[in-house]
Amino acid sequence: MKRRKKKRTTLPPRYKMNGRIFVLLTCFVFCFVFLIGRVAYIQAVHGVEYKTVIANRLTNGETDIEAQRGAIVDRNNKTLATSVLAYNIVLSPKDVLTLSEEKRLEIYKELSPVVGKTVDELKKIVDVNPTSGYKVLAKNIDTEVGEELRGLGGVSLVETYIRKYSKETLVAQLLGFFNKDGVGQYGIEQQYEEYLAGVPGRTFSQYQDSKIVTRETQEGKAGATVKLTIDEVIQQYVETIMRKYIAQYGAINASATIMNPNTGEIYAMYSYPEFDPNHYNDLSKQLGQSVWDNLSGEKQYEKMNAAWINRSIQYTYEPGSTMKPIFVAAALEEGVIDGTETYNCPGSIAVADRNINCWKTSGHSLETLEDVLANSCNVGMIEISKKMDSEKILDYMKRFGFGEKTEVNLPGDNAGLLHNKLGPVEKATYSMGQGMTVTPLQLVKAFSAVINGGYLIEPYVVSEITGNNHTTLYEHKRRVLRQVISSETSKKVATYLKKVVDSGTGNAAAVSGYDVGGKTGTAQKIGRVNGDYVLSFIGSVPYNNPQVVGLITLDNIPEGTGAPANAFREMMENILPYLEIELSETAQKDEVKTSSVPNVSNQDIYTAINTLFDDKLDYEIVGVGNTVTSQYPKAGEIATKGVKIKLYTEARDAKNVVAVPNIMGMTIEEAQKVLDGKFVLQGSEKGKITSQIPRGGTKIEKDSQVIVKTTE
């Protein structure tokens, strides 16, 4: 019997596939309906809100508006650094392309000389970026030049600021600079960035009432003004005189610091090598273009780094004999000497296992303590050091501020180096200013304590910071750190320092009409290479009531020139009258009175000089230009023998100032060639020139007169 086949109960494959498609289609329809419903819900409930958010995101082309950086001014509110308005030139290629080809060519031609690009280069920028609305063509364009482009199709002027240092290299290391990244670097610019930077503004878009798009601007807040203790006039005196001696003796580094020893106000701070903060990364002007161009990138950076350093606070060196008055003050205060002792200098002295020579190897013979300082005798100083404990020596060094920062509130303030313990040799070398390192400002700070009654004063360079509405944000007050020595000790050492200048090693620093106290220094640099010295002079005026203290350092110049002391004298001959510091009583008695000083202020230099000559008085021009703005001594005061009347001058246009050549001894014809048409020569045409007004070297405005007298 045959078995019957069972019927198949599974569906064919095609029916399975159709079922799956149906399921997927059903899911798709369901999802689609759900999404439609969800969109409808969002549109109905959150439509306005989401439209606004999306519109804001699409239209929110937020742009920062640069804040005007605060100014830096000197003690008399003369501007040293400021930010001036300028323009960035921006091109919109998509807008330019809507114009006719003829109009586009006109735009390219007008833009070309301003942005420094050729017509073809500008055309390429537009063609390559047809959808762009913002291409910066040039930055920091002078406003007068930029304004000529206003209204030019497709061109916009975006306000920015350029940092300007109006006095170029003047007090550059103290100011620092504003770098290409828009941040203050070095000096005041770095230390007071928080105050100077200001708060940027912004321009942004807003979507309002679902339909209206507006462009809004929030104005920025300008930075604060930082007022320094620096006096621009004193700084100019210092820099001019320092450059003279640097050039004359070939110094490789140098510094000068002028301070009020009673308040700590720093009037001038000079450092060499120099740089111009307007072009902080280019020393071609200082070194010469060819020299600069031939330096490798690494060498250029080394040169720049050396120029940026503020040597008054960052450079450390062994102070040499300028340390001696400080050491003597410590010994007197400690009571190991009283000033009545005598010292015998045979030219050398035994210390531990060695002999240490005096700079005068033949010896100074018998000396008083006053003589030891006046002669800068090493042997006498070592004899004093033997009477002091090493711990006491270090304690006094620290009390005078060595081994710690000056707290002048500038970046790079160096603490110098002191030993933790002194042996017999170290005690001896400390008394001569060797074996320790200090910064120039540390030494000025300590020396001031020696001569101001014994008070260690905190030095400072920023006196005040004011906001835009003239609110005072910061004000510095005189700060006495501690009294290191008694007023009696201070007076005694100040008297000794006067003898150093009157009849000792510092006689080149003597200033006519004033009582000066000071000390010379010759410090062999670390490495002890023969002839490699830092020469210096530190002094104060008047010695018995000091109003000004100054330190001059010149690195690697010949010994025996007296250059630092001479530089100090020349500076003080200008600074003391400018500060109206009176002549000493003894000096007034010694001088012969001449006559009452006439009033020559607000006159041209020719009238002023002739007026002085009529009264048999001499003159000295201070400043540049043809107009006398003030004078010293003042009108009505008694002029004394040897004192020149200082005429402070200004120019109408400082860019038009030229130095008058020295044409003394020349014929008129020879002088005309030397003057080269820059000045108008007035005087007899025969003979040789025996006098000229103004004197050679005076800086007056071009095309001014030079009046001469001749003799046949």
pLDDT, one tens digit per residue, over 147-177 is 888 888 888 888 888 899 988 999 999 999 9
Q: Are both 526 and 465 inside the same structural domain?
A: yes
- Tell which of 567, 587, 607 closes a domain: 587
pLDDT tops 90 at residue 222: no
Q: Give the pLDDT confidence score for residue 528 in this predicted structure.
A: 57
- Tell which of 529, 561, 587 closes a domain: 587
Residue 653: inside a domain, yes or no?
A: yes
Q: Which residue has the tokens 């010949």?
A: 558
Q: Are both 321 and 464 inside the same structural domain?
A: yes
Contacts of 394 (CB under 8 A, 6+ apart): 418, 419, 420, 421, 422
Q: Are both 357 and 209 inside the same structural domain?
A: no
Half-sphere exposure of 380 (CA within 13 A, CB side): 29
Q: What is the residue range of 529's domain?
A: 314-587
Half-sphere exposure of 671 (CA within 13 A, CB side): 30
Residue 489: inside a domain, yes or no?
A: yes
Q: Give the pLDDT confidence score for residue 3 in this predicted structure.
A: 52
For range 293-298, the mean pLDDT: 91
Helices of type H across 481-615: 487-503, 563-578, 585-590, 605-614
Q: With a threshold of 0.85, does the pTM exceed it?
A: no
List, for residues 451-488, the tens digit of each pLDDT value: 999 999 999 999 999 998 889 999 999 999 999 999 99
Lowest-confidence pick of 56-65, 295-304, 322-331, 514-523: 56-65
Residue 251: inside a domain, yes or no?
A: no
Q: Are both 553 and 632 inside the same structural domain?
A: no
List, for residues 369-426, the tens digit of each pLDDT value: 999 999 999 999 999 999 999 999 999 999 999 999 999 989 999 999 999 999 999 9
Q: Are both 667 and 533 inside the same structural domain?
A: no
Q: Beta partners for 386? A: none
Identify which has the larger pLDDT, 229 or 157.
Answer: 229
CATH of the domain at 81: 3.90.1310.10
Residue 437: inside a domain, yes or no?
A: yes
pLDDT tops 60 at residue 15: no
Could you write out the DSSP letters of every residue in 312-327? HHH--B--GGGGHHHH
Pick the closest to residue 554 from 271, 240, 171 (CA basis): 271
Query: Do residues 669 and 689 touch, judged by C-beta distance below 8 A?
Result: no
pLDDT tops 80 at residue 448: yes
Distance of CA 49 to the CA centre of its chain: 56
Query: Do residues 352 and 426 touch, judged by C-beta distance below 8 A?
Result: no
Q: Are both 174 and 321 inside the same structural domain?
A: no
- Tell which of 13, 34, 59 closes a domain: 59
Identify which has the larger pLDDT, 404 or 532.
Answer: 404
pLDDT tops 70 at residue 207: no
For range 646-654, the mean pLDDT: 83
Residue 282: inside a domain, yes or no?
A: no
CATH of the domain at 665: 3.30.10.20
Q: Are both 201 and 166 inside the same structural domain?
A: yes
Q: Which residue has the tokens 């690195």?
A: 555
Q: Are both 582 and 592 inside the same structural domain?
A: no
Q: Are both 566 and 611 inside the same structural domain?
A: no
Residue 238: inside a domain, yes or no?
A: no
CATH of the domain at 388: 3.40.710.10
Q: Are both 150 and 50 inside the same structural domain?
A: no
Q: Are both 539 and 683 inside the same structural domain?
A: no
Q: Are both 525 and 473 inside the same structural domain?
A: yes
For range 688-700, the mean pLDDT: 83
Residue 243: inside a domain, yes or no?
A: no
For range 240-259, the mean pLDDT: 94
Task: Compute the mean pLDDT over every residue in the chain, rounded to the nearest whole number.
Answer: 86
DSSP, collapsed to helix, strand or coil, labels residue 567 as helix
pLDDT tops 70 at residue 618: yes
The CA R_g of the chain, rounded to the nearest whole Å, is 37
Residue 626: inside a domain, yes or no?
A: yes
Number of domains in the chain: 4
